[in-house]
Amino acid sequence: MNPELMTGSDNSEYLVHAKTEIVHILRAISQKTELVTAYFNQGKDFVLTSIVDVDAEAQTVILDYGANEQANRQIAESAKIIFVTTQDKVRVQFAASHIEKITYDGRDAFRIKLPDLLLKLQRREYYRLSTPVANPIRCVIPKPDGSQVEVNIVDISVGGLGVVCYDSAFSLEAGETYVGCRIALPEVGTVITNLGIRTTFEVTLKTGAVTMRSGCEFVDIPASMQAMIQRYIIKLDRERRAKLAG
């Protein structure tokens, strides 16, 4: 998924230029430990990170070091990095022409110059809809060893999925991308896409059982597959509205 560019008349009204406001927004993102996706190589590759510190006086932003060392080296050599995150579910985007590896509080970190401008779209992220509990839809994810794992989808949007994995021997790792995942959408068809894992955390079910929930982002999803997901969301939403109406 290529991030949107921070230029063009369509987005000009959402650009933030005031340094004080940029600092305020980035600090709010840091305080909530929001996940930040740092795209490089013309949006073809990315590193998952988060904002650790914003120094208004030094005009710098400190970010967590990525989990993939090869990607960390590649992003450090990049001439342009685009950072995409959210503040209170509103999309925020900013860019840097250089990123460097430093030591911060005794550990590896990244440092960039405080951005001169920031894009805050003021419109909510993709509409996310909870999926049926009684008859859950499922996603089949190929595992690195050639086998596959089936996970339950708990919510869906045209941008990604929330899934629960009941396989105690397997965990979806944040930062990993799984290729060729299959999602069977009732009465719509089968979506085949790559999934980037953004977050994974423990959840305790009503039964008391502990399982893992993951937030996933569609990566390089074809427009035709995205359209299928949109059709499914519209269909599910209509069915629910009709049920509520009696």
pLDDT (tens, 9 = 90+) of the chain, 246 residues, equals 334 445 444 556 678 888 999 999 999 999 988 889 898 988 778 888 999 999 999 999 999 998 889 999 999 999 999 998 888 778 889 999 999 999 999 999 999 999 999 988 765 456 678 888 888 899 999 988 889 999 999 999 888 999 998 887 788 888 899 999 999 999 999 999 999 998 888 777 667 777 888 889 999 888 889 888 988 988 888 888 787 776
* DSSP of 134-159: SS--EEEEE-TTS-EEEEEEEEE-SS
Long-range contacts of 201-204 (CB under 8 A, 24+ apart): 203/164
Per-residue pLDDT of 86-100, as tens digits, reads 887 788 899 999 999
Instruction: List the structure tokens of 1.
Output: 């998924």
Give domain 129-245's CATH number out of 3.20.20.80, 3.40.50.10090, 2.40.10.220, 2.50.20.10. Answer: 2.40.10.220
Report residue 9 as tokens. Answer: 């008349």
Annotated domain spans of the chain: 12-124, 129-245
Same fold, 12-124 and 129-245: no
Q: Which CATH superfamily is domain 12-124 in?
A: Electron Transport, Fmn-binding Protein; Chain A (2.30.110.10)
| SS3 at position 239 | helix
Task: Give the angle 51-56-58 at the CA atoms, nearest 5°.
Answer: 100
Per residue in 1-17, pLDDT (tens digit) is: 334 445 444 556 678 88
